[in-house]
Amino acid sequence: MAEGENEVRWDGLCSRDSTTRETALENIRQIILRKTEYLRSVKETPYPSDGLSNAVSLDGLNKLLAHLLMLSKRCPFKDVREKSEFILKSVQELGIRIPRPLGHGPSRFIPEKEILQVGSEDAQMHALFSDSFAALGRLDNITLVMVFHPQYLESFLKTQHYLLQMDGPLPLHYRHYIGIMAAARHQCSYLVNLHVNDFLHVGGDPKWLNGLENAPRKLQNLGELNKVLAHRPWLITKEHIEGLLKAEEHSWSLAELVHAVVLLTHYHSLASFTFGCGISPEIHCDGGHTFRPPSVSNYCICDFTNGNHGVDETQVNSAGNVSVSESFFEVEALMEKMRQLQECRDEEEASQEEMASRFEIEKRESMFVFSSDDEEVPPARDVSRHFEDTSYGYKDFSRHGMHVPTFRVQDYCWEDHGYSLVNRLYPDVGQLIDEKFHIAYNLTYNTMAMHKDVDTSMLRRAIWNYIHCMFGIRYDDYDYGEINQLLDRSFKVYIKTVVCTPEKVTKRMYDSFWRQFKHSEKVHVNLLLIEARMQAELLYALRAITRYMT
């Protein structure tokens, strides 16, 4: 009776055909009831023979029940949700403990009531949810938080599906393993766990998961690029590229390397989104459910620490009491600064020398923005085994007497150089990424907190260019003096932490910027952050590839 979760075929539940789903659900029901009956019979045996075997059987059943719990809450198909719940109740009636979700919803930072509930979506959103579920076999918490911005989500899912599942230079198991390597650099166990499951599902060798040293030499060689790209991309040179392309029998082709680089940058950025939005563990993964009965108050202690316990967020933050009028004043002040800057732009334009000087000032100042939670936290073994050199992390590019030349967008930019290189070596991906960049950058509902009909382009550009400035990337036509006017210190701390050291993001940081803004607007900020970060990493990597090729 050692049937594990992998023996159960969940694929049929992804079908759009209700009869196929019904057949799959009935098969799952029979397997689970068979395992349940076996464990009940063992319990009733006066002298059970093999304790270890029984523990393995119970563990296998618990994994199946956790998966069913996830389906009962997160499957876009109503029949699957209802039947999953029915099977769980049937098991409970037979005297077996069933799991319940931990926490409250997809995000530890955003109250569950503000996030779209599965089952209450409109037809357009249902189609999007169904596509996502059909592709991945789950509707993950990242999707449920990104759904605040459906246009972006559609582009994101299309790009990710292409990178992971459509025709491309790299085999499927390599793609998921590279995702694990990239997420592990930021200690993002959420993404690591998801891709460990996906890696095994597509036939990956479980031995590779014991540590990077057990993976093929070709993947081990990618470790250095992963490390530098994640933490100090301005240090990438054509020598890094040459080392991967000329490694004899372990060599990468140019097309494979571009695929790998896009995957690395995608998952570094997605780790930023995961931490920046406080994404909770998936219901069926570790930390997402419990088999313990609910406590008297029906709250888990973790709910109090993550802030999801019903306190009115406009009244309190870590700094103490924040009145609604105070945060209202912050919004008004920001609107006024935008108006003044627009008037100054219309009246006079700074010289090129002045613009260059303002960039250098902002670049220097960005080095002195850091979170108060700046102590190093050693990564857990289950994550750190997927990469080498665990002490290597983000360091500002001008520290320790280093001088990194400014990366001028006029000399090498995404639109004129990076896009065409990616599209040439990995067809269609350049187009998909470009569309995603444009949607994130141009996305607007012309609102700011309680105000409507607002042009937010100045604010969006300041956020994007501040991130690129932190990476040493300069736009000659941008006045970097605007950044200090529009982005206050608490916001800069949040931005820098999400982009450079996402594992250090706290709910306090999330709550402390733009206190009167909606959660959907803060998620929008995170979309800008991850796309600006991904583009910055890609620019450095693709420029190095271009230099190698020429």
Interatomic CA distance for residues 363 and 357, integer angstroms: 10
Alpha-helix residue ranges (DSSP H) falling in 214-372: 217-231, 238-245, 254-276, 301-305, 324-347, 352-366
| Type of residue at 90 | S
**Hey, what are 272's tokens?**
């930023």
Q: How far is CA 199 from CA 14, 203, 426, 528, in A?
A: 18, 7, 22, 29
- The answer to whether the beta carbons of residues 255 and 171 sit under 8 Å apart is no
Closest CA to 526 of 277, 334, 313, 280: 277
Residue environment code for 146-177, b if the CB has 16+ CB neighbours within 10 A, otherwise e: bbbbeebbbbbbbbbbbbbeeebbbebbbbbb
Q: Which one from 188, 285, 300, 469 is the annotated catalytic residue?
A: 188
- The answer to whether the beta carbons of residues 26 and 13 sit under 8 Å apart is no
> Strands, DSSP E only, in 55-105?
100-101
- DSSP-assigned states of every residue in 130-195: HHHHHHHSS--HHHHHHTTSHHHHHHHHHHHHHHHHSS-SS-HHHHHHHHHHHHHHTT-HHHHHHH
**Which secondary-structure segment (H or E) carries 79?**
helix 78-93
**Which secondary-structure segment (H or E) carries 33?**
helix 18-44
Interatomic CA distance for residues 200 and 5, integer angstroms: 12
Q: Quick check: is 344 catalytic?
A: no
**Which secondary-structure segment (H or E) carries 62?**
helix 51-74
Q: List beta partners, residue 289.
A: 101
Q: How far is CA 67 from CA 119, 192, 337, in A?
A: 18, 18, 50
Helices 189-201 and 254-276: angle between axes, nearest 10 degrees: 130
Question: Cβ neighbours of residue 368 under 8 Å, at least 6 residues apart?
Answer: none
> Which residues are identified as catalytic?
188
